[in-house]
Chain A
């Protein structure tokens, strides 16, 4: 099951990337540089998706106290952190030729960077608490608070300084670019799900080992 799904997801990813790199037309002002968009934006979407999953799982753990939710929160936040890191790196690479700087204190960039730091802290915390139950409880509480902070961080940084272009909606992006963008969004979602699945299995095996 898992192997079949992984194969399909990887093949689909290759297909979507091919479309993005070879079939989609270059952009008017940014030329080929803009193609980084096809990884950057889907990675950002999926990172946020994974972190939301982690948030919901944290709350469910606090209510239901099922170890499953703790494992889900841990796994999805890890995948989310990796994707967030990817988004940051690609965004920075894209920023240099288009904005002229590697980094700018733009709200979405800054929010993403802070999010990365927050969830790195969360990962460190998880590894410092030995007792499984304590760890689950405390990290669920902090995980909830971290996610609540996301909109507040976003608005604070946005008011502080703004430069990033407005949210691109399909209306402002040409249709021949929207399609590969969507394809890639699903392709990266597929990859994220593979990671999540594997990470969940590791977490389950770990807790089984702990119980022995």
Chain B
């Protein structure tokens, strides 16, 4: 079962200093599923996503992503996942175009189709008009959209979104909803950690609630959660 699963967690825990941010998580997510993670601040949502994105290693437990072990095949997992976190990871002295070209080159090790892919992603995120702008001069909402451009260029199978809503502007939110539908159609596996329950629930297949480093509730049917 776990072999065919997109993400499989078993007894995953993570400690910072003396505190166990995540104590023991078990979870299986099937390919194409969209999982919403709710929970108060400091309950471990971000930590969980960072672990899945291979930014942190778990203190204990096993994780497999598309059949690759996180402990041993980190590089294969990095090629399959895309992550948008709180840090935007942008080089703010670059122009939008330069940055996306850098991303494309590092990800695909080639310049083939680079132009068309970059143009496409800019078009999708509504940033074509700003392609020559230095990133530093963009508004926060635009910068957030640029991180989505990066995600589109990477074309990952597993998408990890850590609170995507707050910094998105109105236009960004519209594009985001459209993107989510597109991704689901294309069979992407998506994790969203969020406080904006209504906007997230519209997309989620499943909701887990995390509290004190553990999953406390799991709701399969999103209508039930509303109740």
Contacts and interface: CB of A to CB of B under 8 A. Distances in A.
Do A and B touch each other in the complex, judged by CB within 8 A?
A: yes
Main secondary structure of the interface of B (DSSP, over half): loop
A133 B17 contact: no
Contacts of A130: 16-17
A36 to B, nearest CB: 44
B83 to A, nearest CB: 20
A133 B18 contact: no
A38 B25 CA distance: 58
B132 interface: no
A211 B13 CA distance: 11
A104 B57 CA distance: 48
Nearest to A209: B18
Measured as residues with beta carbon below 8 angstroms from the partner, the interface class of chain A is under 10
B59 interface: yes
A131 B18 contact: no
Main secondary structure of the interface of A (DSSP, over half): helix
B17 A132 contact: yes
Contacts of B16: 130-131
A212 B15 CA distance: 10
A210 B59 contact: no
A133 B57 CA distance: 9
Interface string A117-134: 000000000000011110
A131 B47 CA distance: 13
Nearest to A137: B57
Contacts of A131: 16-17
B129 to A, nearest CB: 42
B182 to A, nearest CB: 38
Contacts of A209: 18
B81 to A, nearest CB: 21
Nearest to A210: B18
Interface in A125-154: 130-133
Contacts of A212: 18
Interface in B1-22: 15-18
Contacts of A210: 15, 17-18
Contacts of A211: 15
Nearest to A131: B16
A130 B17 CA distance: 5
Interface of B: 15-18, 57, 59
Question: 7 nearest interchain CB pairs?
Answer: A130-B17, A210-B18, A131-B16, A131-B17, A133-B59, A130-B16, A210-B17
14 contacts: A130-B16, A130-B17, A131-B16, A131-B17, A132-B15, A132-B17, A133-B57, A133-B59, A209-B18, A210-B15, A210-B17, A210-B18, A211-B15, A212-B18
